[in-house]
């Protein structure tokens, strides 16, 4: 039986890991050890460790790995701290495989620790192109990983061009689409009622994270978005950003607008569980900001989306996404276009809902060769 150690660092990678966690637990030939680090443990980001536990997963260990400071130096030092902490925990668990998803700095720690300890590293969501330092992290992880689970055809191609052996690159789709499929639909009234929204009006969802390579601008950038929403008098929901260099500036901009009596029609949340978030997406008039969910889950759900700025640069996207710069007028126009258009048809760009089982099958059966890697060219 193989022991798979999964590391989750925040709500977004957790959303993508859930379908895989479930599929691993269903198999007799895989044992699961879950380690929870990063912003899952922080009250400012919803203490999502509690969500993980209430979802029924048993957590082997947690570790506080975030150094406070809202700037690149704190994020960098947190990477180092994560590597040190995970070394001790991987040593205690002794897994056959370490599984991670995505490209955030917490996850970079897990990749470095696993690969340097000669463990087999499996990586979901590699090969994508986007923006921010996340892109460098993502490809660096690819160069350390032994099993790759890209979500799209384009991502698969890029991983192979990066010199990985094709037989180790498995196109399974994105497990977040599995999750979307597994979540019971809810009608618009129920959703509006649950989140205290007026069912007679369209509502929007706003999520805007800082771009770490532009973190000094994060406050001004979100200001353009929120002023556009404010000027249009839209109601809806807003999620606070991930912990990243720049997130504190976004929070301060929000507070400042609130103190000026604005944003009263936007309900703010630190975290919404994915089971409630997907139904919200199904009925939202427009999904605004720079979250990858608008592109990923959005393509499958056909959600009209306005993607702002460079954070998702070059990420593969369906017809549902309009990209605009940080300019309140452009943002307003794009929102209007999407509200006029309404829902798009579903697009299987990011998978067909079978990714979780696909990943688990390969984790259980793939030959685990030597940990030593080399370029294919």
Within residues 16-55, the interface with a second copy by CB under 8 A covers 41-44
Residue closer to a second copy (CB basis): 191 or 222: 222
Which listed residue (31, 135, 181, 276) binds a second copy by CB under 8 A?
135
**Site pattern 105..124 for a second copy (x: CB under 8 A):** x--xx--xx-xxxx------
Provide, rounded to whole angstroms, the least separation between the CB of residue 360 and a second copy: 25
Strands annotated E in 111-184: 120-124, 147-149
**Residues with Cβ < 8 Å from 1, sequence gap 6 or more?**
28, 29, 30, 31
Q: What is the DSSP letter of 169?
A: B
For the bound state, the minimum distance from the C-beta of residue 72 to a second copy, rounded and expressed in Å, comes to: 5
Measured from the CB of residue 70, what is the shortest distance to a second copy in angstroms?
A: 6
Q: Are 311 and 131 in contact (CB under 8 A)?
A: yes
Q: Smallest Cα–Cα separation from 81: which of 56, 110, 43?
A: 110
**CA distances to 209, 289, 292 from 180, in Å:** 22, 20, 14
Count interface residues toward a second copy (CB under 8 A): 73
Whose Cβ is closer to a second copy: residue 85's or residue 178's?
A: 85
User: Which residues ranging from 248 to 287 are in contact with a second copy (CB under 8 A)?
Assistant: 248, 252
Instruction: List the interface residues with a second copy, window 65-104 (CB under 8 A).
Output: 65-70, 72-77, 79-85, 87-92
**Residue indicated by tokens 């637990």:** 25
Burial class from Cβ neighbours inside 10 Å (0-12, 13-18, 19+) for residue 299 reads: buried
Query: Least distance (Å) from a second copy to the CB of residue 120?
Result: 12
Show contacts with a second copy in window 227-246 (CB under 8 A).
Answer: 243
139 binds a second copy (CB under 8 A): yes
**165 is an interface residue for a second copy by CB under 8 A:** no
Candidates 15-23, 136-144, 187-195, 343-351; binding stretch for a second copy (CB under 8 A): 136-144
Structure tokens at 276: 């409630």
Q: Within positions 196 to 215, which residues make up the interface with a second copy, using CB under 8 A?
A: 212-213
Segment interacting with a second copy (CB under 8 A) among 23-31, 129-137, 271-279, 325-333: 129-137
Q: How far is the CB of 44 from a second copy (least distance, A)?
A: 8
* Residues 6 or more apart whose Cβ sits within 8 Å of residue 190: 279
Cα–Cα distance measured from residue 359 to residue 172, given in angstroms and rounded to the nearest whole number:
7
Please give the Cα distance from 26 to 222 (Å, whole number). Answer: 42
């Amino acid at each position: 039986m193989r022991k798979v150690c999964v590391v989750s660092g925040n709500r977004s990678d957790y959303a993508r890991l859930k379908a895989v966690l479930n599929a691993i637990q269903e198999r007799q030939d895989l044992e699961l050890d879950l380690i929870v680090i990063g912003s899952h443990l922080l009250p400012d980001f919803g203490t999502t460790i509690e969500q993980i536990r209430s979802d029924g997963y048993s957590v082997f260990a947690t570790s506080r790995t975030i150094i406070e400071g809202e700037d690149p130096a704190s994020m960098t030092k947190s990477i180092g701290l994560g590597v040190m902490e995970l070394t001790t925990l991987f040593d205690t668990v002794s897994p056959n495989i370490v599984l991670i998803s995505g490209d955030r700095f917490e996850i970079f720690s897990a990749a470095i620790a696993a690969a340097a300890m000669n463990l087999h590293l499996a990586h979901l969501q590699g090969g994508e192109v986007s923006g921010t330092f996340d892109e460098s992290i993502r490809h660096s992880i690819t160069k350390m990983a032994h099993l790759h689970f890209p979500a799209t055809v384009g991502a698969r191609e890029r991983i192979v061009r990066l010199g990985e052996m094709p037989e180790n690159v498995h196109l399974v789709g994105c497990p977040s689409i599995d999750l979307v499929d597994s979540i019971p639909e809810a009608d618009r009234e129920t959703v509006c009622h649950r989140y205290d929204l007026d069912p007679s009006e369209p509502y929007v969802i706003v999520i805007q994270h800082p771009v770490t390579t532009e973190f000094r601008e994060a406050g001004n950038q979100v200001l353009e978005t929120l002023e556009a929403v404010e000027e249009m008098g839209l109601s809806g929901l807003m999620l606070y950003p991930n912990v990243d260099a720049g997130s504190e500036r976004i929070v301060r901009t929000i507070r400042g607008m609130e103190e000026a009596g604005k944003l009263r029609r936007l309900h703010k949340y630190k975290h919404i569980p994915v089971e409630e978030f997907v139904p919200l997406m199904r009925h939202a008039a427009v999904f605004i900001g720079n979250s990858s969910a608008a592109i990923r889950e959005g393509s499958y759900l056909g959600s009209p989306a306005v993607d702002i700025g460079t954070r998702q640069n070059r990420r593969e996207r369906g017809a549902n996404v309009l990209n605009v710069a940080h300019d309140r007028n452009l943002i307003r126009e794009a929102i209007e276009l999407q509200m006029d258009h309404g829902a798009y048809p579903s697009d299987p760009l990011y998978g067909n809902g079978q990714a979780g089982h696909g990943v688990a099958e390969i984790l259980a059966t793939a030959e685990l060769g030597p940990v030593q890697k080399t370029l294919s060219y």
